[in-house]
Amino acid sequence: MNPSLVLGSTSPYRRALLDRLRLPFTCERPEVDETPRDGEAPDALASRLAQAKADQVAARMAGAWVIGSDQIAALEGRPLGKPGGRDAAIAQLTAMSGRSVVFHTALALARAGAVTLQAQDRTEVVFRALKTDEITRYVDAEQPFDCAGSFKCEGQGIALFDAIRSEDPTALVGLPLIATARLLRAAGYVMP
């Protein structure tokens, strides 16, 4: 029998991805300050936050393995946060139009008192040149205000791209399942 598994997130996107592995799990909200540190690189920020989320939830879930994940979008090495609202989403997509954006999706699997397992995926998204009215229509239709990079690739956001370069297509949605399955097997989970 597999040990208890907890997703340290209330993200519906991550929950839907983890469901695909057909392992029973629960979700718990991590209480982590996501403020970047001065000079912190996007990949380091994603790793630190994924680890902090896993550790924070694991400390209150005795015996359970906890998955923490975080994603940071970076434009020319500069982290882009979640837009939080319409104007910020339009501004982000306008800035990304015709350019490449790198998404760093970090993963940590932790259990209180145990060694933590970590992984990170790097996905490059090449945005096509977008017209202002296309951006506005997209933002109004999908309202991607809680998404790094202001789009939902599992929805209409896929039409904003010229290309996606990644080793794991699920990473862009927020939880790299190839790495997640690998870490779970390393922790002793029996996978289907």
State the pairing for strand pair 65-75/5-7: parallel
Tokens 């791209």, located at residue: 161
Q: Would you give the DSSP letter of residue 67? A: E
Residue 136 backbone zone (phi > 0: left; psi -120 to 50: alpha; other: beta): alpha
Check if the beta carbon of residue 14 is closer than 8 Å to that of residue 3: no
Residue 69: closest CA among 25, 104, 19: 104
Whole-angstrom distance, CA of residue 158 vs CA of residue 7: 26
Count Cβ atoms below 10 Å from residue 20 Cβ, excluding itself. Answer: 12
- For this structure, is 140 an active site residue? no
Greatest distance between any 2 Cα atoms in the chain: 53
Select which of 43, 55, 70, 168 is catalytic. 70
| Active site (catalytic) residues | 70
